[in-house]
Amino acid sequence: MTTPQARPDFGLVIVGDEILSGKRADKHMPKVIELLTARGLQLAWAEYVGDSPDRITAVLKRAFGSGDVVFSCGGIGATPDDHTRQCAARALGRDLALHPLAEALIRERMQDVAREQGTTYEPDRPDNIHRLNMGVFPQGADIIRNPYNKIPGFTVGTVHFVPGFPVMAWPMIENTLDERHAHLFQRGAYVEKSVIVFGSMEATLTPLMEDMERAYPGVKVFSLPSVDHPEYGRHIDLGVKGAPADVEAAFPVLRAGLLALGVKLGPELVRN
């Protein structure tokens, strides 16, 4: 594993054939973007991978080697099509082992279910023994508590593994951000400011965009064209994003450059 960067990027891995086949629509990426944005952070990359152990292992090997903070959603159960735990161990070159706290939590969950169903908890019953596989993680892993049903996820370094079910995954991701990565939060340290541009083409605006990035290396220029927006119709949402002071310095220059090109401008938009 590499030494983490001073300020790592954030990545997301979504595991499951059901996403790639279209049987289920991915809901994780919009939610992770929402959770990161609320903390002044951004998602830098995302990967989708089906239930192929070799592909999952390759994706996780890159994640572990990146130094990024990565959330992996899905494939940590104990059915034959769940491979993420085993692939994480392969990617790390570590053995798998039953985590003692995970075992305790899984047994606690099985006792809860038995009480709810009015049955007797039988710890040595084959299906209950099989359920303990959900707590078999790469050696050295830490657990991620699951407030929904107690069945934990796990963490190795800055790569965090949660179930594919949103009702479980999302609070686990949020808690992990707050408990492990609060020192990276940048609330109020990032802003986007843009203006709606009518009657122009991106090719016409490209030289201005290039000039802006050369003159203001602290900001990124973005261009989001639309042909059928319900309010603005055909337009380009053109702006700059970065630290507030940099954006405040760059945006008036961008706007002046657009006026010099003779384009028609609409409303200005600000996003924190």
Average pLDDT over residues 206-213: 96
Q: How many CB atoms lie within 10 A of CB 263?
A: 19
Nearest to 209 by CA among 230, 171, 187, 238: 238
Average pLDDT over residues 33-47: 94
Distance CA 20, CA 42 (A): 24
Model confidence at 190, in pLDDT bands (50, 70, 90)?
A: confident
What's residue 4's pLDDT?
A: 40
Res. 216: pLDDT tops 70:
yes
Report percent pLDDT > 70 for the chain. Answer: 97
What's residue 40's pLDDT?
A: 87
pTM: 0.82
Average pLDDT over residues 211-228: 93
- Mean pLDDT for all residues in the chain: 94
Average pLDDT over residues 115-140: 95
3-state SS record for 64-122? HHHCCEEEEECCCCCCCCCCHHHHHHHHHCCCEEECHHHHHHHHHHHHHHHHHHCCCCC
Task: Give CATH for domain 10-184.
Answer: 3.40.980.10
What's residue 191's pLDDT?
A: 85
**Would you state the structure tokens that stand for residue 247, as one six-digit string?**
């954006």
What's residue 188's pLDDT?
A: 65
Query: Using one digit for the tens of pLDDT, what is the confidence trace for 143-183?
Result: 999 999 999 999 999 999 999 999 999 999 999 999 999 99
Model confidence at 224, in pLDDT bands (50, 70, 90)?
A: very high
Task: Give CATH for domain 191-271.
Answer: 3.30.70.600
Model confidence at 242, in pLDDT bands (50, 70, 90)?
A: confident
The domain spans of the chain are 10-184, 191-271
| Own/partner pairs, 249-255, CB within 8 angstroms, 24+ separation | 249/216, 250/212, 250/215, 250/216, 250/219, 251/193, 253/212, 253/215, 253/216, 254/195, 254/208, 254/212, 254/221, 255/195
Distance CA 43, CA 158 (A): 15
Res. 116: pLDDT tops 70:
yes
- Cβ-based burial of 137 (10 A; exposed 0-12, middle 13-18, buried ≥19): buried
Evaluated on CA atoms 209, 211, 216, 218, the torsion sign reads positive
What's residue 180's pLDDT?
A: 97
Model confidence at 48, in pLDDT bands (50, 70, 90)?
A: very high
Res. 3: pLDDT tops 90:
no
Nearest to 234 by CA among 224, 243, 244, 242: 224
Average pLDDT over residues 256-268: 95
Nearest to 270 by CA among 246, 249, 239, 243: 239
Average pLDDT over residues 190-216: 93
Distance CA 241, CA 218 (A): 9
Report percent pLDDT > 90 for the chain. Answer: 88
